[in-house]
Amino acid sequence: MSALAEVREALVHAADLRLIGLLFERPSESRRRHVAALASECADPSLRATADLVRDVDGASYDSVFAAGGPVSPREAAYLGRSDPARAMSQVKDLYEAFAYRPPEGEPVDHVAVETGFAAYLWLKEAYARAQGNAEAAEVTAAARNTFLQEHLAALAHGLAKRSEGAPAAGLVALVQALIARVGPAPTVEAGLDESEVDEDLSCGNCGQS
């Protein structure tokens, strides 16, 4: 693959994951505008269709799924089973700091919108490094992204898939599947998905706030 093709591929991945991350955010007018702009340029028809379904979900519908006590937790910590959530969150924070990623205020660092946004950010940094001809920086960024996907976002995405079946928010199942298609299979040793281990207080942080 040529350097230009690698840059373009990285930018497509970045844009798709940024769109998915936005769709997992709590509804707002700003979010709706950004989703519309990104979706209009998305080359994946299935993701565009999913964006059309999820874009206009209102806050009450979102909270009925993701708020504390709802059927689906949007946080990685809810799917870690017997693993140590403090250690996992420390790893996530360290990665954010290493790559100067600034999560949006008001959401936990392990919220699916935040983690997906970070994956998009790493694809964008890789695209920039490749465009500058800095192969070493590009490879370091790609390696960090793959580690993050395998050790964090994949477990979260597959946990969401298990919980989201039958959820009342239109398009949620399709949105989760779009994320899974971009993060890969569940971890070989499935650390999460032990429903008896989930702390309901970790369900969404302050998702219920307007």
Mean pLDDT score of the chain: 87
- Contact by Cβ (8 Å): 88, 78: no
Higher-pLDDT residue of 68, 6: 6
- Contact by Cβ (8 Å): 126, 35: no
pLDDT single digits (tens) 28-72? 999 999 999 999 999 999 999 999 999 988 999 899 899 888 889
Please tell me the distance from the alpha carbon of residue 73 to that of residue 20, in angstroms, as a whole number: 16
Average pLDDT over residues 146-162: 95
At position 127, the amino acid (one-letter code) is: A
Higher-pLDDT residue of 113, 192: 113
pLDDT at 162 over 70: yes
Choose among 84, 72, 92: nearest CA to 191: 84
Average pLDDT over residues 97-105: 93
How would you classify residue 44: left for phi > 0, otherwise alpha for psi between -120 and 50, otherwise beta? Answer: beta
CATH 1.10.3480.10 assigned to domain 3-187? The reply is yes
> To the nearest 10°, the Cα dihedral for 57, 64, 73, 147?
0
Choose among 43, 208, 9, 26: nearest CA to 114: 26
The pLDDT value recorded for residue 8 is: 96
The pLDDT value recorded for residue 195 is: 38
Instruction: Tell me the two tokens of residue 120.
Output: 């998009």
The pLDDT value recorded for residue 168 is: 67
Q: Find all residues with CB under 8 Å of 177, minimum gap 6, and list them.
A: 161
The pLDDT value recorded for residue 188 is: 67
Instruction: Tell me the two tokens of residue 2.
Output: 């040529």
The pLDDT value recorded for residue 164 is: 86
The pLDDT value recorded for residue 35 is: 96
The pLDDT value recorded for residue 193 is: 37
Residue 106 — pLDDT band, cuts 50, 70, 90?
Answer: confident
